[in-house]
Amino acid sequence: MKPRVLRRACLPIGLGALAIVAVFALASIVGAQTPGETESAPTGQEPTSEPTPGPDVTTLVRLAVPETLEQPVSSGDEIQVQVFVDDVEHLAGFDFTIGFEPELLEPVIVAGEQLPTSEAGTPVSGEEGVVKTTNLGQFLTSGERQDILCSDARAQGSRALVTCSLLGAPVCAGGPPGVSGSGLLASVYFESKGGGVTTLEVADSHLVLDDIAPPCDLSEEADIQVIPIPHRTSGVSIELAKDSGLSTVMLVAIVGLVVVVAVVIGGAGYLVYRRRQSTGPA
């Protein structure tokens, strides 16, 4: 009787062991596929010193990505973040900073300029690097004044700073007006680290009118004050590929394979057991 009892016990014990192995394998795969969530928002989203624009303010500085960008963006791929201004009048200059999550994104540093990082791989606060940009000040050159002065885009901590302005006399000194309408201010490049959805914000921004506060004194001793243009801002969310390594399809295939193997082994064991039962002892 004892051998028969052991044979009857082998099948459920074997299937149970395979089920436990499958559960632990699935848990480890899912755990590896889901990186730790970050609760920190992009740095620098506090309002600027300028008053909050009212509902009648239509000028907007906004972030966007090209429609051709394939999302989710794989780790290591570059992302072009476009900065537009909409519905502005007489723009003579601008500056803005983009706030980003350094755990998920890093600015693309141009050749010869390395951005120092901490042991954790995040940019060191207070250190700077020159960020890759294109179309810098493009919109400013669409008006009568073609000469512009733009500084290198800089990365500092979890921000990227860009600044650009028209050259020449302001309107009060007989100069032509700045540009009006809508257009591209600059494209700033970031590299994906993967890890899920991330949001970039216009952390700080200033638009400058093409004139100066009266009186129109351009002497070296004059305390020149620029006139800001009230505006609103909006950010952009980007889906980054998770660093998991295993896709959902592969995950389902592995689980399915484990189940099939369990069924096959269990079925084979059951058939052997039944055959031995039917033939009886020799």
pLDDT in tens, 218-272: 888 888 888 999 999 999 999 999 865 455 556 666 777 777 777 778 767 767 6
On the question of pLDDT at 48 being above 80, the answer is: no
Express as a percent the part of the chain with pLDDT over 90: 49
Express as a percent the part of the chain with pLDDT over 70: 66
Q: What is the predicted pLDDT for the residue at 9?
A: 44
DSSP E strands, 115-153: 128-130, 133-134, 148-150
With CA atoms as reference, report the closest residue to 207 among 182, 227, 190, 193. Answer: 227
Over its C-alpha atoms, the chain yields an Rg (Å, rounded) of 31
Each residue's pLDDT tens digit, 62-84 = 999 999 999 999 999 999 999 99
| Number of residues that make up the chain | 282
Lowest mean pLDDT among 123-127, 174-178, 231-235, 237-241: 123-127
On the question of pLDDT at 15 being above 90, the answer is: no
For residues 119 and 245, the model is more confident at 245
On the question of pLDDT at 188 being above 90, the answer is: yes
Angle of helix 248-279 relative to helix 2-33, nearest 10 degrees, comes to 180
What is the distance between the alpha carbons of residues 26 and 158, in angstroms, rounded to a whole number?
36
- Tokens 């969310």, residue located: 237
Kindly state the tokens that stand for 189. 């490049």
Q: Which helix or strand (DSSP H or E) is residue 86 part of?
A: strand 78-99
